[in-house]
Amino acid sequence: MPLTTPQTRQLYGVIAQHFPRGTIAAYDRDLRYLIIDGQAIRELGIDPESLTGQMVGSNIEDEQTRLELQEHARAVFSDEQFHFEHDIDGRHYRFDFVPVKIDQIVQYGLVVVYDMTEEIALKNDLKISLEQTKNALQVRDKFMAIAAHELKTPLTTIIGYTQLIASKIRDRLDDREQKMLQNVLIQEAKLNNMISSLLDLTRIEHGTLSLRTGPMDVVILVRDVMVDMRFNSEHHTFLEEYTRDSVIIEGDQDRLEQVFRNIIMNAIKYSPGGGPISVSVRKLQNEVTVTVTDPGIGIPRNELSRIFEEFSRGSNLSGTTNTQISGMGIGLFVSREIVHMHDGAIYAASEGLGHGSCFTVILPLRKSNDTA
Ligand code: ADP
């Protein structure tokens, strides 16, 4: 479309005039502007009409820049494209030189000048913010690792001594004192669990969580965990169903115990109204599934995978009574990591708020030819 007819000149003119944050110009072989317009030159207070007929770059004071720009402008007529960036009066511009061909012959050069100052400032701000966020996260991780480590040692001593003293004086205490002592032991255990979870979290983040695996029976493990769990609540009943077979997997007994304790404790904790909690261990062809079902507060469907993320606590805790259910949002994150390290899977299911929840852990069976 030649730039000679008034209609096409008008069309190019309108496009150029409304070109945002830049300038667009068409020029001929003598590098004279045929059309030049755009918000950038208007913002500089230059009348675009006054530039028509002038040479490309004529409004640039620095000679070297002007000559370089004109060299690129000229090369367009050898059917080449150029990209060039330059600072003028404290602003950063990008110049794109493009040939405009009509019937296979380059008739005009087109230069698109784009003011990138804001874009670059924004990118720099973003880079600085990212850097600051990264540093803050590093400080948080370091603080968490040190705090958890430093708290663990004295707490272990406190727990050891409390248990020892408790065993010596328990018989001499009245009912009220016995309850107080029991409460001290429960709170110590809670604190110990919290610190262990924080330590596990930092281990996962540093890739240092490791397993000590060997052949183990999942039925025996879950049965043992349940012996303990039954004492954890007077308001719940426990229905247990185990496959008759032995279910041997290659696993880390302590770490898997931690997983099952976590999901069973959650079933108790998130069923504040009491009720039956079902635990089942089923053997399939190549895998074992452990399912824990509770009649509790339930989980919104769109959060079923999010609750496995680090520090994630569900919106099911926002109701007036449920806000009191304490936790750090780490247990499921650590559990998922441990299950994945066993090449297994863990997932949650729920019909929604108020409809209870069901957690399933799937672990691969030990292949018969590796049986110890
Ligand atoms: P915590 O219990 O310390 O918050 P978890 O990682 O164990 O941390 O659980 C994350 C979130 O998942 C909980 O805050 C809760 O919102 C939800 N959740 C876990 N188990 C259950 C359950 N059995 N019933 C309802 N919600 C649950």
User: How many whole angstroms separate alpha carbon 283 and alpha carbon 88?
Assistant: 73
Average pLDDT of the residues of the chain: 90
CB within 8 Å of 47: residues ≥ 6 apart: none
Tokens representing 163? 């248990």
Q: Is the pLDDT of residue 12 over 80?
A: no
- Give the pair of three-digit tokens for residue 254: 């302590």
User: What does DSSP say about strands 236-242 and 275-283: parallel, antiparallel, or unpaired?
Assistant: parallel
If DSSP codes are grouped into helix, strand and coil, which group holds residue 301?
A: helix
- What tens digit of pLDDT does each residue of 130-180 get? 999 999 988 988 888 888 889 989 999 999 999 999 999 989 999 999 999
DSSP state of 309: S
Q: Which atom of ligand 1 is nearest to the CA of 262?
A: 7
Give yes or no for residue 299 CB within 6 A of ligand 1. yes
**Residue 9: per-residue pLDDT:** 74
- pLDDT range class, residue 91, cuts 50, 70, 90: confident
Average pLDDT score over residue span 294-322? 89
Q: Is 200 in the pocket of ligand 1 (CB under 6 A)?
A: no
**What average pLDDT score do residues 227-254 get?**
91
Q: Is the CB of 265 under 6 A from ligand 1?
A: no
pLDDT at 4: 65
Query: Residue with the nearest Cα to atom 2 of ligand 1?
Result: 327
Taking residues 300-311, what's their average pLDDT? Answer: 94
For residue 109, the model assigns a pLDDT of: 94
Residue 78 makes CB contacts below 8 A (sequence gap 6+) with: 106
- Please tell me what DSSP assigns to residue 215: E
pLDDT beyond 90 at 22: no
Query: Looking at residues 329-358, what average pLDDT do you find?
Result: 96
pLDDT of 2 reads 60
8 A C-beta contact, residue 184 and residue 173: no
Ligand 1: distance of its center to the CA of 7 in Å?
68
What is the structure's pLDDT at 372? 44
Q: φ, ψ for residue 32 (rounded to 5)?
A: -95, 135
195-204, 211-220, 255-264: which range is least confident on average? 195-204
Write out pLDDT tens, residues 101-110.
Answer: 988 899 999 9
Give me ligand 1 centre to Cα 351, in Å: 15
347 dihedral zone (left: phi>0; alpha: psi -120 to 50; beta): beta
Pocket test for ligand 1, best of 204, 326, 332, 347 (most atoms within 8 A of CB): 332
- The best mutation among 313, 325, 328, 337 to test binding of ligand 1, ranked by most ligand atoms within 8 Å of the C-beta, falls on 313
Which numbered atom of ligand 1 lies nearest the CA of 315? 16
Q: Classify strands 287-294 and 248-251 as parallel, antiparallel or unpaired.
A: unpaired
270 Cβ closer than 6 Å to some ligand 1 atom: yes
pLDDT the model gives residue 370: 52
Asked whether the predicted pLDDT for residue 19 surpasses 70, the reply is yes
| Beta-strand pair 214-217/236-242 | unpaired
Helices 117-169 and 175-205, packing angle to 10 deg: 140
- Rounded distance, CA 186 to CA 326, Å? 14
- The alpha carbon of 329 and the centre of ligand 1 are apart by a number of angstroms equal to 7
- Quick: pLDDT tens for 57-78: 887 888 988 899 999 999 999 9
Ligand 1, residues 193, 261, 299: which to mutate, most atoms within 8 A of Cβ? 299
CA of 326 to the centre of ligand 1 (A): 10
Which strands make up the sheet holding 236-242, listed edge to edge? 236-242, 275-283, 287-294, 357-364, 345-350
CA 154 to ligand 1 centroid distance, Å: 29
Contact 272, 322 (CB under 8 A): yes
Residue 359 is inside which H or E element, if any?
strand 357-364
**Per residue in 224-235, pLDDT tens?**
999 988 877 788
Atom of ligand 1 nearest to the CA of 330: 6
The helix (run of H) or strand (run of E) holding residue 327 is none
* Closest CA to ligand 1's atom 14: 313
**Model pLDDT for residues 171-195, shown as the tens digit of each residue:** 999 999 999 998 999 899 889 988 9
- C-alpha 272 – ligand 1 centre gap (Å): 13
Number of H helices, E strands in the chain: 9, 12
**Is residue 106 a contact partner of residue 100, using CB atoms and an 8 Å limit?**
yes
Q: Cβ(331) to ligand 1 under 6 A?
A: yes
- Residue with CA nearest ligand 1 atom 12: 307
Q: Is the CB of 267 under 6 A from ligand 1?
A: yes
26-30, 314-318, 330-334: least confidently modelled range: 314-318
| pLDDT class of 371 with cuts at 50, 70, 90 | very low
Give the pLDDT of residue 37: 87
Residue 245's identity, in one-letter code, is D
3-state helix, strand, coil in the chain (%, to 5): 50, 25, 25
